[in-house]
Structure 1
């Protein structure tokens, strides 16, 4: 492009472009072209972000994806528990063994999603063969493209194909397994159910063993306490020279009762003699007998309840030892 300088006699100098295009018109055209290009790029970007995944998913699931079959099994965990005070109907249900245990259910759920469950499942079933059937499409079968067939990859694949959930209201655990053949999915759920049953039975056996062991410990401690108490009672009997202080107390009470009866009879005789023969020597003898009986009663009462060596104190110590 050539530019020439022209001079005019009646006006200022100016620049002219030989092909007749002005500079401001050229820059506007560039901006317009850039704007159109930007709009096209945004349009294709929106298509790529929103439309392409939908189209690809429709093509894959409509034309390429292999059918998968799902097997489902349900069960409820019934565990053995210690003696806990549970009121009402729940206590009755636990007594006959139909109450559910949320703690045991959580343990079973954790197990079903663990590597131990996958390891035992693989030992019992050809799990890799089930997940790598020839009728499966290349994106769904195991091992997946660009990934190996290690146990860790199998565990990840298992997590996509097997789900275990628990109903919080009923406690029912549901296992769902997907495979490319119906018999494969059914075999997986049956084996997982069997493994869960073995796990729960093992927990119950351990709980039973712990309960029996604890009961045996309590019995041994109680036996030791009884023997020790028996030795203490024997030492007490030897020290006090008495077999059963309570029986001695009963005997003393009977003695006091008999002596009181004798005193009453003697007093009656004294009263009768005083009316008939006040100066009779028999009256003096009866009064002496009554005084002797009264003194005997006081002595027996003092021995029964009084100082620390009294029978009542011995009975109290003896009863505490027996208790």
Structure 2
């Protein structure tokens, strides 16, 4: 047998390896009778095929080209935007509170989260946009750059379009825990951004004042209605009592009866004294004596005066007559109604004053902790970030499509 040069076939014949102890020997490789081992043979380098060039072209179209176009637009056409910040919150006077930076509205009774929730919705509403557009002409402000159709607002846009654009340029940040709200407002001119921020602050103050006025009105509405009804009741009772007095020609039947009785009692006493004096003289002097005649005249005058006093009060002198009883009962009922009406009026007046006082102590107002700022440098658009996001989005889309393509290709 001829000697075999092992160096010549070293690349084709694997060298035996030492088997670890305790492991069974590996199965020998299956012999392929059709396999041909060529000494010194090696694989050819990979070549670019048509599908590979298609992937490269697709990468350029999906990733590079959009990024280049977007970069060109951002750095040559996109106008600079300036930011103005403003911060505020709602407070009430229900409880004393000390103003502290970023914590002024966090105390009990120092803020109204419901008011700020309403204000948060109002800032993005069509009503606010219409108000500020009427005041500042937002369409002109947001369409100033002539060569930037991508980031500007078209002048012929509708109010709905303006609201959508407004929500992109005015970014609220509301913290419901502290009741603080910060607004980031963008415009193509720093003074325009500051003016918009000031207008938003003014409109927010008006809304809070309206909410405060409405709350005060609601808090005093019931008390005011009760007070008005009490006033009407008291005025009606006074009118009825006055008409009753005029109709019956009396002021107070009990006081009138007491006064008449006092006069009659005085006259009775005087009559009795005059009769005693006359009786004392009748036994000692003749009937023709002038003093007896004078006493008789005095007695007649007193008696006549008594009759006149009794006739003035008429039936009031007879306390057992039905007319007197009905008159007194009617007067007492009307007097009692007037007393009740006066007490009800005083109670309603006190309740109304208390309600007004409570409402004034719960007055709501807007507190500004960050006045509208004036920008000195541009902050938007963020060109590097936008270019990076464009590249990232294009690459992810390209990679996803390529993976789907190869997955479908392998299944065929």
TM-score for both structures, normalised by structure 2: 0.39
Q: Using CA pairs below 8 Å that are at least 6 residues apart, which structure has the higher relative contact order?
A: 2
TM-score for both structures, normalised by structure 1: 0.49
Is the helix fraction higher in 1 or 2? 1
